[in-house]
Amino acid sequence: MLRHIDHTKMGRGVHGWLDSHFHFSFAEYYNPDNIRFGALRVLNDDTVQVGAGFSTHPHKDMEILSYVIYGELSHKDSMGNAHTLTRGQVQYMSAGTGITHSELNWGSSELRFMQMWISPDKDDYNPNYGDYRFVWEDRIDKWLPIASSYDNSESAAPIKVHADVNVYATVISAGESIDFKIGQNRQAYMTLLEGDAKVEDIEMVERDALEIIKQDVTITTERYAHLYLIEMPYDDECYTQKYGKEKPLSNGLNQ
């Protein structure tokens, strides 16, 4: 079962220094039927102008990943970490019992990054931070494992999170294709960061997203496709809240 989400119908926050597309309810965008997708609570596509960003603010009991699409993301937190990441690199923060941090664009050009919040399997973990400078070529025409559960010893993902999720990125070359095989009783949320893509019979453009439920998919592209995907257990409660039992998913159903 697939559900296509048109980026032009997502929540939006435009503030001059910041332009955000909200995949789920966040800040000024609130839709009671679009609070989360399983353990995925927040997925924001943020574009930040030079010299601006998110000043020091708190987090608690959330697993947070930031994936840089382009530009420079400078992070500083209450644990003493201060690092700058660039295209294709990732920072991870387990907020746990409480942490403060800032995310700013001190670079010379526009910054765009994906900010993702995952609900942890329990509260009150000790706060933790890490960043990973993945080699860009390691995601060309294959899935690059970015993050997985601490319990998933078989995953090659270097980032470990307190939730049963698997996070990947890929860049598909022009005219190529890639499969994603979903686990039994699992679901995934995929967003097209750059380029174009076709998933089965669904055409996607930049910033569109796709819900993938209990179904393997083949993804193709004419130019190239830069994709970000979060896989997790199927959540029937979330499905029912969003669509109702009387509304089964169908290919190409737009939000």
CA 116 from centroid of its chain's CA atoms? 5
Distance CA 176, CA 66 (A): 27
Cβ neighbour number for residue 180 with a 10 Å cutoff: 19
Positive or negative torsion for Cα 24, 26, 29, 30: positive
Cβ neighbour number for residue 97 with a 10 Å cutoff: 12
pLDDT at 183: 87
- The token pair at 207 is 């910033």
* Contact call for residues 150 and 160 (beta carbons, < 8 A): yes
pTM: predicted TM-score of the whole model, two decimal places? 0.93
Distance CA 142, CA 144 (A): 6
Q: Nearest CA to 78 among 93, 99, 107?
A: 99
Positive or negative torsion for Cα 85, 159, 5, 26: negative
Tell me the per-residue pLDDT of 189-240, one tens digit each, with 9 for 90 and over. Answer: 999 999 999 999 999 999 999 999 999 999 999 999 999 999 999 988 877 7
Q: What is the dihedral of CA 150, 152, 157, 160, to 10 degrees?
A: -10
pLDDT at 235: 87
pLDDT at 253: 32
pLDDT at 252: 33
pLDDT at 251: 33
pLDDT at 112: 98
Where the chain has pLDDT below 70, the residues are 245-255
pLDDT at 242: 76
Q: Point out which residues pair with 129 in neighbouring strands.
A: 93
